[in-house]
Amino acid sequence: MRLLVVEDEKTLADLIKEGLEEEGFSVDVAYDGQEGLFMAQNEPFDLVVLDIMLPEIDGMEILKSMRNNKITTPVLMLTAKSDVEDKVSALNIGADDYLTKPFSFEELLARIKAVLRRNFKEASNIIRIADLKLDLSTREVERAGKKIDLTAREYALLEYLALNKNRLLTRTDITEHIYNYEFDFDSNVVDVTVTRLRKKIDKDFKKKLIHTVRGVGYMIKEEE
């Protein structure tokens, strides 16, 4: 999952980025409203963590412009204000959730996951594809009851495929959603990661779940 954090307090933004990356997200950071709005409008993020009080353009304005430009990326608002009015108006202009400062990292993470799950229309934290089981909250993967250890990048790829199961994902889709801005798009790192993931998920099983669509991309599905 690729996230954007728009927060003017540099230390806080960097800490959030660090924490979320440890959780397997790829994270971009914008330190002011202008940059935040530009990135939100030009990159396909899965979620934006947006502070309300920002220099240049405030968070409410960014959210409004995003929604006016039909960008439906889920948005989690952060604010130091605890007014109910603020909360209501943020939700009214299209925020998906709202978090009041100060907050703990666990709370932020839980809210991000909840918003993402809602956005991918998953009712529970557990996704099952045939005998493959993915726990979004603990990031544990099992196949046929056997635990599989994955690296953060492999997990991110599997999670993205699973959340979009039965849908064809191009290489660009995948790079854009599991790597951040600093990533070099020309490399074949996606193919390498997919190969490694296949080794862990599909190699010992007769039924293959990850499918290649030649020249286009990959998808995860139950039936052959």
Partner 1 sequence: MRSIKAKLIVLYSLVMIAVLSVLSIILFLSLRNIVYKPIDSSLLKRAKSIDSMIKNNSFRFSFSDINGNKYSFSFSDNRLWVYSSRYSKYFFQIRSLQGETLEKSLSLGKMSLPFSKNFKRFENINFKGKTLRLLNYVDPYDRMIIQIAYDTNREAKILNNFTLLLFASIALIMIASAVGGFVVSNRALKPINDISLKINRISNENLNESISVDGVPYELEVLVSSFNDMLKRLDKAFKQQKRFISDISHELKTPLSVILMQADMALKKERSSDEYKRAIESIKEKTDMMSKLIEKMLLLASLESKYNKMSFSEVSLEDLIKEAIALFAHKADKRGITINIDIKDRCSVKADRITLLEVFSNIFDNAVKYNKENGRIDVSVKKADRFAVVEVRDTGIGIPKDSLSKITEEFFRVDESRSKKTSGFGLGLSIVKRIVELHNGKLEIDSEEGKYTSVKIFLPIA
By CB under 8 A, name the binding residues for partner 1. Answer: 8-12, 15-16, 18-19, 22, 31-32, 53, 55, 80-83, 100-106
Long-range contacts of range 171-175, CB-CB < 8 Å, 24 or more positions apart? 171/217, 173/44, 173/217, 174/217, 174/218
14 vs 142 by CB, closer to partner 1 = 14
Smallest gap from Cβ 147 to partner 1, in A, equals 19
Measured distance CA(126)–CA(187) in Å, rounded: 32
- 102 preceded by a cis bond (ω within 30 of 0): yes
111 vs 143 by CB, closer to partner 1 = 111
Q: Residue written as tokens 């990326």?
A: 73
Smallest gap from Cβ 101 to partner 1, in A, equals 4
Smallest gap from Cβ 31 to partner 1, in A, equals 7
152 vs 219 by CB, closer to partner 1 = 152
DSSP reduced 3-state for 50: strand
Smallest gap from Cβ 104 to partner 1, in A, equals 5
Q: In 14-50, which positions are buried (b, 16+ CB within 10 angstroms) versus exposed (e)? A: eebbeebeebbbbbbbbbebebbbebbeebebbbbbb
Smallest gap from Cβ 19 to partner 1, in A, equals 5
Measured distance CA(36)–CA(63) in Å, rounded: 10
Q: Residue written as tokens 């074949």?
A: 188
82 vs 92 by CB, closer to partner 1 = 82
42 vs 104 by CB, closer to partner 1 = 104
